[in-house]
């Protein structure tokens, strides 16, 4: 059976070069980075070299990069400490954020006297920037948390505009950039983001490692206590091979960014054009068909299918060897539908199947031809 992997927004295949770098570390640099002997110093040197390498891509200080287990932990670290330690009393976000943000805020609201405001989004998932600006007025300390690239519909926010609004109003700005890092360049000296979350497995690195960018002198405090690792902000022995893996994956991603972006953009455009010809009634959710206002790595489609057949469609695609997603992989065990689509689609379209297809350098136009043919056949039966 032919197999096609179009679920790269959920996770990506690890590059062979990254695997090789990690294996080398696991074989030869197994010392604890906190140990004072030569084995420990060797591991510590690797960790700090990786930290400097990652920092260089964002034009920040190495001390502002804190390694975590991934984007979810980075989001939790920032949001929880902002409320607990920085005196934030009001958080402005949107209802189409990742659950790593929304569920954390739900819990914080139970634990602290916290006001949460949701900026409006239209039926294409675009935030209301004028309303956002109005929400930043007030005497309470405010933090804005808006994701750079939406993981389900691919919408890009104008991150520089949001950063400038926050800076002008003396408001802290956190962005979940998990779907953006490794795919978009971001100079954090020019874009005044205070906090950022990233995860290696979204750009062909290993699972279980990510980082938080924490701008110096913000006063953030740890979420996990124990040792003094990670500048005292994240206790626990560093996963050296994973840290080498994320640094290696990021370096390759940015060194090849122009070439790989062009290739993946071509795949997305090819998918949109051919699917639209094969199934003229197909709709593209959010701005995912807009090559300028959405990420080049994914599309989210709504298919003209009888609602009774909706639940079987992903199963049928899986039987054909096609891996895709109805939304975030993090909620695949949930019986509820996508909270993002529930916010932007009308009731009629919510009853129809919506599917996210996400692309990488390992995909081909031949695979797209196969997927389009299968979708057309399934809709005709």
- List residues with catalytic annotation: 330
- Largest Cα–Cα distance of the chain, in whole Å? 68
Token pair of 215 as six digits: 């701008």
């Amino acid at each position: 059976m032919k197999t096609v992997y179009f679920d790269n927004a959920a996770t990506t295949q690890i590059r062979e070069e990254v695997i090789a770098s990690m294996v080398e570390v696991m074989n030869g640099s197994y010392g604890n980075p906190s140990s004072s002997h030569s084995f420990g110093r060797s591991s510590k040197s690797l960790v700090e070299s990786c930290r400097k390498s990652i920092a260089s891509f964002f034009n920040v200080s190495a001390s502002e990069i804190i390694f975590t287990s991934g984007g979810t932990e980075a989001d939790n670290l920032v949001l929880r400490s902002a409320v607990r330690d920085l005196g934030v009393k009001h958080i402005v976000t949107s209802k189409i954020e990742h659950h790593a943000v929304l569920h954390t805020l739900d819990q914080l609201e139970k634990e602290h006297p916290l006001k949460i405001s949701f900026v409006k989004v239209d039926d294409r998932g675009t935030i209301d920037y004028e309303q956002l600006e109005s929400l930043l007025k007030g005497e309470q300390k405010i933090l804005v948390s808006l994701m750079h690239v939406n993981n389900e519909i691919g919408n890009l926010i104008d991150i520089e505009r949001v950063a400038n609004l926050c800076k002008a109003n003396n408001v802290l700005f956190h962005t979940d950039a998990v779907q953006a890092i490794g795919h978009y360049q971001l100079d954090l000296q020019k874009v005044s983001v205070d906090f950022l979350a990233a995860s290696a497995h979204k750009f062909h690195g290993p699972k279980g490692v990510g980082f938080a960018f924490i701008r110096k002198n913000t006063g953030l405090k740890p979420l996990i206590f124990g040792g003094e690792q990670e500048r005292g902000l994240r206790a626990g022995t560093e996963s050296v091979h994973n840290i080498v893996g994320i640094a290696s994956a990021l370096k390759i991603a940015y060194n090849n960014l122009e070439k790989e972006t062009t290739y993946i953009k071509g795949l997305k455009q090819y998918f949109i054009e051919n699917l639209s010809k094969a199934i003229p009634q197909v709709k593209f959710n959010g701005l995912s068909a807009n090559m300028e206002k959405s990420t080049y790595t994914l599309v989210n489609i709504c298919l003209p299918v009888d609602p009774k057949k909706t639940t079987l469609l992903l199963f049928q695609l899986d039987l054909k060897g096609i891996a895709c997603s109805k939304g975030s992989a993090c909620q695949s065990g949930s019986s509820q539908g996508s909270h993002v689509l529930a916010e932007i689609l009308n009731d009629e379209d919510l009853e129809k199947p919506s599917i996210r297809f996400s692309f990488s350098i390992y995909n081909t136009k031949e695979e797209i031809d196969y997927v389009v043919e299968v979708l057309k056949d399934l809709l005709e039966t």
